[in-house]
Amino acid sequence: MGNTPSAITNTLAAVRDHTRRYQDFTYVYPVISRRSRGLSIGINLNPDKVCNFDCVYCEVDRRIPGRRKDVDLLQVRDELRWLVRHALDGGLAREPKFDEVPDFTRHIRDIAFSGDGEPTMVHNFAECVQVAVEAKEEFRLDTTRIVLITDAAGLDKTSVKAGLALMDRHQGEIWGKLDAGTEGYYQLVNRSPVKFERILANLRDTARVRPIIIQSLFLKTHGAVMDTPELHAYCQRLRDIVFAGGQIREVHAYTIARPTPEPWATALTAAELVKIAETIRQETGLKVEIFD
């Protein structure tokens, strides 16, 4: 291949634009993801924009009503099969935006449950995972992962656990969100009715069954970087998970990349993000990947 993962910079239109609208599709969309290191086919299980978090940095405009409230599995299957075939046949590489990185569009790095809300809020999550599994098998996507990008609030649901078990058998990965070390900061940034204690317990219990990735967005609030006590508390939460038998494969540390609804929530500089990542490495011993 002419390109390598290091060639995926955040200046590319295909990287900066992660719109979840593609053609006339409702659920499925393609993005070039730095964290996936290539083409990620997203499945938006929340076209209704319903979420149990209200993160200050979320780019989803919830003032505009969602398109529909249900998840039509047949339509999800049809859209996913069409887009996978389109990518493998080279059609996606010829489209505007994606023609910047044509080498990345023919290899599907993952099929990711990520959308305008929290994927685990749907009642039939395991059936949605089965749709992704069938697409992997039909197109022989042996190295393609199935990724759940989640705020972790629903990881304790029975239906979700069934879906996670299915993912485990088909190159599954869980990217669980953790942006804070204390309840106060969690409520400042994530603004959720779900207790922080439940998020931590869900991450711990899920990581006891299989390795997970922790995804953490660091930002400035009212011009201030996360202070030292909060960062130490965040690192302690990671250590708590590991001490309790949880497996953290790595931490994804990143900052704001797109416009936010709150003007006081702003991006870190590259140097600020590097400093935070180094503190996490020193205090936890975990692998930390930076995506600025």
| Residue 101 sits in the same domain as residue 42 | yes
| Per-residue pLDDT tens digits of the chain, which is 292 residues long | 333 344 555 544 444 444 556 678 999 999 988 888 899 999 999 998 889 999 999 988 766 666 677 899 999 999 999 999 999 999 999 998 888 888 889 899 999 999 899 999 999 999 999 999 999 999 999 999 999 999 999 999 999 999 999 999 999 999 999 999 999 999 999 999 999 999 999 999 999 999 999 999 999 999 999 999 999 999 999 999 999 999 999 999 999 988 888 999 999 999 999 999 999 999 999 999 998 6
Q: Which pLDDT tens digit goes with each residue over 132-148?
A: 999 999 999 999 999 99
| Residue 258 sits in the same domain as residue 290 | yes
| Residue 87 sits in the same domain as residue 133 | yes
Residue 214 belongs to domain spanning: 178-292
Which residue is listed with tokens 């931590």? 200
Q: Which pLDDT tens digit goes with each residue over 222-263?
A: 999 999 999 999 999 999 999 999 999 999 999 998 888 899
- Please state, in angstroms and rounded to a whole number, the distance separating the CA atoms of residues 171 and 142: 8
Is the Cβ–Cβ distance between 42 and 31 less than 8 Å? yes
Domain containing residue 291: CATH number:
3.20.20.70
Structurally, how many domains does the chain consist of?
2
Q: Alpha helix (H) ranges present in 23-124?
A: 73-88, 102-105
| Residue 71 sits in the same domain as residue 25 | yes
| Residue 223 sits in the same domain as residue 122 | no
Strands (E), 8-144: 28-33, 38-43, 108-113
Residue where a domain stops, chosen among 148, 174, 200: 174
| Residue 98 sits in the same domain as residue 55 | yes
In this structure, what DSSP letter does residue 227 have?
Answer: P
